[in-house]
A and B are shown apart, each in its own frame.
Chain A
Amino acid sequence: MQYPHCAALISIALILGGCATPNRDLIVLLPDKDGKVGTVVVQNPKGGTVLNTAYATARTAPDGSIQSSQAAQGEVKEMFGDALGAQPPRPISFMLYFESGTDQFTEQSKLEVKRLLAEMGRRQAPDITVIGHTDLVGSDPSNDTLSLQRAERVKSILVGMGISAQRILTAGRGRREPLVSTADGSPEARNRRVEISVR
C-alpha cells in the first residue's frame, strides 16, 4: 500500500457515501456484425439508463449519476482499440448430416468436414463443441439422449481424423433448435443434424 492515508480517506469517504473521486465508467453499445443492436441496462446507486441504439453511451457524471449520450467520433477506437484488437475470431458453425440409417456422412458433409479442418487450422488454439440436434419426433428426454449420442459418435469420428479429444466438447440439444420449422411429430431429415461450433 503506497498511500495508506489516501486509501483511508477514500474508505472514509466511501463509508460517508460521498467519495470525492467516484469511479468513472464508460459503456458503449455496438452494433452486431450483421448490424443488429441489442440492449444493455446500466444501473448504479444514483440511477440508470437503457442503451439500445448503435453507439449509445452511458458515462458517470462528476456527481456520480449516469448520463447517456452518443459515443464521439474516434472515442471508441482511442479508448477501446486494444481491447477490440484482442477480440477472438467469431465462432463459426458447420452442419453435418448422415446418409439415412448409416454412420457415413453424406457427400456434402464430407466436404463440410474438410472445411471444418481448414477452419481449425486457421485458428489459434481452436476448440469445438459438437452439438447433436433431432427433429420433432418424440419427447424431450428421448431426443436429448439421442442427440447427445449422435454428438458423441461424431466426436469419435473427428478424433479418428486426428483432432485431439481435449479440444472437443459434446452437447445434446435435443429438439429445441430445429433448422426447419415443422409440425410436432414430423420426421424431417434436415433437422436430424450435428452442428460443430468452432471457437
Chain B
Amino acid sequence: MLVTHLAAIRRIAVAFVFGLVPLAAWADDIAQFKVTKGTVYVERGGQRLVASVGTRLQSTDTVVTGADGSAGIAFIDNSLLSVGPNSVLAIERYAFNSTTHEGVFDTTLRRGTLAVVSGKIAKQSPEAMKVRTPSSILGVRGTEFLVQTGH
C-alpha cells in the first residue's frame, strides 16, 4: 500500500513539474456516474471509493452495488451501462480513439444485473465490445441488451 501511495505521489509530482497532466482534467477518465442510488462504490487498485453522481471511472475499475444500490454510467464513447442491486461489474479494458472511433471495451459482470446501450466503439467495430459473465461471453453488434448472472 505504501509503495502504491509513493508511486502515486511521485506520479503527481512529476506531472506537476512537467505540466503534463492538468489535475482533475479527463486524463485517464473514461466514464462518469450519472445516477447512483443506495450503496455504490468503486474498487481501484485495492482501494474502495464511495461513488456518487459525477464520480469518474478509469479503465480497470470495478463497480460494486449493495442490496439497496443501483448505478448508471456514461462512457466517453456514449456507451451507457447501468447495474442493479448486488452487482459487481469489472471494467477490464477500455480504449477509445475519438478520431477514428476504434477501440476496445471489455467488461465482466461477475454478479447481478446489467443494462447496456452500446456506443461508438461497438458501432465502429462489431467485435470491439465484449461483455463477459463468469460462464459466458457476449459479442455486441451495436444494440441494447440486458444481462443477469448468478447461481
Contacts and interface: CB of A to CB of B under 8 A. Distances in A.
A38 to B, nearest CB: 2
A82 B148 contact: no
A40 B145 contact: yes
B115 A87 contact: yes
Interface residues of B, number: 52
Interface string B107-121: 000000111011000
Contact residues on A (Cβ < 8 Å of other chain), bracket? 35 or more
Given A28-B145, A32-B144, A169-B26, A23 B135 contact: yes
Contacts of A21: 151
Contacts of B25: 165-166
Nearest to B34: A88
A86 B83 contact: yes
Nearest to B87: A83
A3 to B, nearest CB: 13
Interface string B18-42: 0000001110000011111100000
A60 interface: yes
12 contacts: A25-B133, A26-B147, A38-B141, A38-B143, A44-B136, A44-B137, A45-B135, A80-B113, A82-B85, A83-B83, A173-B99, A199-B78
